Structure 1
Amino acid sequence: MPPHPRRRRLRRLTFLVLCCLIAGLTVCAGAALLMVNQHARQLARPNTHSELWQAYQLHAELERSLETAQAVLDERADSDALATRIEVLASLLPPLRTTSVFSHLAEPRPEIDETLNRLERISGDWLKRAPWGQPAAARNIAEEMLRQLPLLLKPTHEIIVATHIAQTNMLDDERQDLQHAFVLLAWVLAGLGICCVLLTLRVIANSRRKLLLTQRLNDLNQSLERRVEQRTQELTERKALLRYILDTSPSDVALLNDRDSHAHYVSPRLLQRTGADDESFNLTRLFNDPDEESRFLQALDEFGRLDGWETRLAGDPPYWAVVWARRLNVEGQPASLVWSFDINQRKAIEQELRLLATTDPLTGLQNRHAFVKRGVSLLKSAQRYHRQCSALMLDIDHFKRINDTHGHAFGDAVLKAVAAELSQGLREVDLLGRLGGEEFAAILPETDPQQALQVAERLRTAVQSLIFTGEDGSRLDLTLSIGVAERRPGEVRLEDLLARADRALYRAKAGGRNRTEQAPS
């Protein structure tokens, strides 16, 4: 017959109270043990309570310093011996200045601080004038020491006495604290023992009741085993169906344990791409860039899911993919479901479109739109960091005549050759673009007007040295006219800079072509 509900609640409450008491007493015992351990470690520390020895050393060092000073005056010791005594004296003061032992005195002793301050002041002064290899300076300091140090012998002896009293008081306090900790620990252990006895009796009573329930549980277990077998069969069939769906899916799928990166499942196509097997596959094998893996995990930890993450995955060769991920719980452990879709072909098309949008198809240089966009950025950077920047406007002389005489195919060959020569004559940081027809432009960062003129002349000479031969065997001489302009302070509009360079270009044209003109500053 099951126990009365009120009686059952009372037993549970009694058990809970005993457990809480044992837990509380255990915590108290741990705290008491920690307190005893701290006191024991403090007492066992090698250099603990060395203040009295330091005070004795200070007094003894004063006497040794007086003897050395007298020996220097009597020419029985050299200046280096006195300098050594000064350094030793100065090194003995900081421990006594920083110790807390004097706080254990029954009454404050301000004369201790006064004595230590005075010693620190005079020893610091002598230390600054340390007479290494200076006999005359050593004699002066020795005379000062013979005048001042005898007056400090009695105060330093008082420091020894005060240190001894303070240290005795401190040890008494520590012994009393240790005794209190032992008393507390004894009471806590006694209470803990009583509670453990009561809890043991309670456990024995509960075990008797559990024996009565064991047979009923055995009957229930047999029934549950039959149901578990049936449920296991159903789960096996569903798992097989799910694996078939995942294997035939157009996406690459992986289910990974978050603790050890063990793979619960990896689709065959993903294993083929990475060249791994079920045992060796992990998240590191999936990503081509370790930094991308770190960013992926950080984002997944923050949001618990990821949608449409575009990245390069590892493969032979690596490929672009869109990745999705979800946090799951598999067999009681955290796991990540990751699936991806190959977008390598789409990325290739995007790259081709981007290249067509920014590149002049004939010369391979930046087109007008890309040149202007990049040039505005360079000009703003020069303005922000107060750097010099220059622009070149370049135009092929009599290019229309070349087209009309030799045809457009020949003119295209001339444009490509000139573009290649200009690219070779500029730095990687320089920006070069074709604005249209036979007109080119260049932005030269970190370039003053004189350097820009030198670059322009070098380009003009290089193009002039190009040799072209028409279909009829005639030789074609090619020249450039160039306009140079420097960015003015505060000028951030690219069109203003290019307009001044363009006006300089027209002056070069009007001045006979095949020349370089500079715009006014």
Structure 2
Amino acid sequence: MVVATSASLWWTLRQVQSLAQPFQHNDLWHVSSVHSELARVALLARQVKELEAPDVHLQERLEVLLSTLDISGSSPRISTRLRQTLPQTALDLEDLARHAERWAKRMGSAARERAGVSDDINLHADDLLQRVRKAVVAVHLFATQETDRLRQELHKNFMQLSAVLGGLLVGTALLIRKLLSEARAAQALSLQLSQANRQLEARVSSRTRKIEESRALLSFILNSSPSDVVLVDVESGFVHFINNQLVERLGLQWPPIKLYLPELLQDPDTSRRLMDALEKYGQVDAMEALIGGRSPRWSSLSARLIEVDGRLAHLLWGFDISTHKQLESQLREIASHDSLTGVLNRRAFMERGTALLDHCRRHAKPCAVMMIDIDHFKLVNDRYGHQTGDDALRACATSIAGALREADILGRLGGEEFAVVLPHSSVESAFSVAERIREAIFEMQILAGGATRLSITVSIGMAEMDHRDADIEAILGWADQALYRAKATGRNRAIAYERPTPSAEHKGVSS
């Protein structure tokens, strides 16, 4: 109904605008004016020829005729529809305009040019007047037909408008009837709604009391829980809930008003992974992270993205796993270190040594390996006992570690045998390290059997990494061969592995 009313109003406005245009059908008036002006020009031309009027009057009347004949593209006096329907009339008027323009141009030139204008006008005036009179008749007939066509079209359109308005009247009556019926029904529903609202208020009040009691119980349970629990708004950081356990963990005296989840975690990378997972999946389960203020502790964190009062919030809870992490660290220490000397055991040494070799090979850097064996260690155990032997092993490990750099790695491969990997070191620089180790062990003060000073020496074999494909096992094997040479040539010395190929340049050196 609204669409039909809008369309009717729009159409009515269009018709009003069409009828309000004063120059929409002015072709008849225009052609009649041209005929009158042409007749005046013809009369004035005869008067000028007979010297009854001056030339200037004829020039002015020609300009008036040209103004009346204005058929330029910018402001055409002849409508497009007339041009299409009566092309000959348009051509006659254009021909008249050309004559008038020619006469006016001659009247504006020298005196001898003006002399023949009146004769030329008189020569063509009758023919032009005859053609314009025919144009007046043709335009009059055209205007009559056009007016009749518009009248019929208006009659048709107004009949359609009447039908639409009649339909709108019927529709309005039906709508009013429906509105009255709905008003009575709405009044009845209002009474029922009022009664239901009172009942609902009573239920809501009861439900609110239950919810408050449940929240109080939940708050008591969460505050009594050993877990860390916090619920914060995602955007504002407003803390909906935080239990006492987490407040103490953060080193705060009072629960904070605002707290953003990333601020809880000590490690920025872990915090970023937590937030990325929450944004992508909406939840995180059992993520281990350090949380807390001055004394951070390990926790197993779980988090969810939930909605609270129409806004997104982060719910996070965690369990303290610091004791578990300490046990893990101790187990890793036990699994990777020799229990007697505290240096790396064989498995850990081989893993880290392989990584160091790969690093040096990847960056085209040298890397040297040393095998260290305590001379006559079996005699020490047999003569002074295993306790003294253990003391000697610990002392040797300490002396070797004291001669190494932080980047070097030391391991006990078994018994009295140690191994060292020296990254970014050639066999020549490894020899200087081997000498420091040998001298440090020789100068150790180990007492055995009361006040007896135990003198210990070591033999050392060295080898340098081959940048092609040698692994840690192969290089240790080369160093072990050099170690056997050191043992065979008198012990208490350091010798480098000599490659069997002609390109080998390493030389053994004894002390």
Shorter-chain TM-score: what band?
0.5 to 0.7
400-409 vs 314-323, greater mean Cα deviation: 314-323
1:338 aligns with 2:316: yes
Query: Partner of 1:455 in structure 2?
Result: 433
Partner letter of residue 457 of structure 1? E
Query: Partner of 1:220 in structure 2?
Result: 193
Q: Which has the larger radius of gyration?
A: 2
Of 485, 488, 493, the match for 1:510: 488
**How high is the sequence identity, in percent, across the aligned residues?**
38
Shift of 1:249: 3.8
Partner letter of residue 293 of structure 1? S
Partner letter of residue 256 of structure 2? E
Partner letter of residue 224 of structure 1? N
Of 288, 305, 314, the match for 1:327: 305
Task: List per-residue Cα deviations over 1:176-229 (Å, max 9, x = no partner).
Answer: xxxxxxxxxxxxxxxxxxxxxxxxxxxxx99x9999969966973674365145
User: Cα–Cα, structure 1 residues 390 and 360, in superposed 2: closer, same or farther, change >3 Å?
Assistant: same
User: Cα–Cα, structure 1 residues 493 and 270, in superposed 2: closer, same or farther, change >3 Å?
Assistant: same
Shift of 1:489: 2.6
Unaligned runs of 5+ in 2: 8-174, 500-511
Query: Partner of 2:281 in structure 1?
Result: 303
What is the CA RMSD across the aligned residues, in angstroms?
2.9
Q: Provide the rounded CA distance (Å) in 2 between the counterparts of 1:417 and 1:297.
A: 50
Of 388, 404, 417, the match for 2:382: 404
Q: Provide the rounded CA distance (Å) in 1 between the counterparts of 2:217 and 2:456.
A: 75
1:318 aligns with 2:296: yes
Secondary structure at 1:512 match in 2: coil
User: Normalising to structure 2: TM-score of the pair?
Assistant: 0.58
Unaligned runs of 5+ in 1: 1-9, 18-204
Partner letter of residue 231 of structure 1? V
Q: Provide the rounded CA distance (Å) in 1 between the counterparts of 2:243 and 2:346.
A: 48
Q: Provide the rounded CA distance (Å) in 1 between the counterparts of 2:4 and 2:461.
A: 99
Partner letter of residue 206 of structure 2? Q
Secondary structure at 2:301 match in 1: strand
Query: Partner of 1:268 in structure 2?
Result: 244
Task: List per-residue Cα deviations over 1:272-307 (Å, max 9, x = no partner).
Answer: 222333334522553233443232112111111111
Of 355, 359, 363, the match for 1:377: 355
User: Cα–Cα, structure 1 residues 419 and 232, in superposed 2: closer, same or farther, change >3 Å?
Assistant: farther
1:257 aligns with 2:233: yes
Of 262, 266, 271, the match for 1:288: 266
Q: Provide the rounded CA distance (Å) in 2 between the counterparts of 1:518 and 1:347.
A: 43
Q: Provide the rounded CA distance (Å) in 2 between the counterparts of 1:415 and 1:258.
A: 59
Shift of 1:233: 3.3
Of 429, 443, 463, the match for 1:465: 443
Partner letter of residue 240 of structure 1? A
Task: List per-residue Cα deviations over 1:30-50 (Å, max 9, x = no partner).
Answer: xxxxxxxxxxxxxxxxxxxxx
Partner letter of residue 448 of structure 2? G
Shift of 1:232: 4.3
Q: Provide the rounded CA distance (Å) in 2 between the counterparts of 1:227 and 1:346.
A: 52
Q: How many residues align?
A: 323
User: Cα–Cα, structure 1 residues 487 and 285, in superposed 2: closer, same or farther, change >3 Å?
Assistant: closer
Query: Partner of 2:62 in structure 1?
Result: none
Q: Provide the rounded CA distance (Å) in 2 between the counterparts of 1:447 and 1:346.
A: 40
CA contact (8 A) 1:358 1:367 kept: yes
1:278 aligns with 2:255: yes
Shift of 1:470: 2.3
Secondary structure at 2:304 match in 1: strand
Shift of 1:402: 1.2
485-494 vs 239-248, greater mean Cα deviation: 239-248
User: Cα–Cα, structure 1 residues 260 and 510, in superposed 2: closer, same or farther, change >3 Å?
Assistant: same
Partner letter of residue 451 of structure 1? S
The correspondence of residues 78-97 of structure 1 with structure 2, limited to 5 A, is: none
**Structure with bigger RCO (C-alpha 8 Å, 6+ apart):** 1
Shift of 1:384: 1.8
CA contact (8 A) 2:373 2:417 kept: yes
Of 478, 486, 504, the match for 2:456: 478
1:233 aligns with 2:206: yes
392-401 vs 473-482, greater mean Cα deviation: 473-482
Q: Provide the rounded CA distance (Å) in 2 between the counterparts of 1:349 and 1:278.
A: 32
Q: Provide the rounded CA distance (Å) in 2 between the counterparts of 1:16 and 1:304.
A: 51
Q: Provide the rounded CA distance (Å) in 2 between the counterparts of 1:497 and 1:243.
A: 64
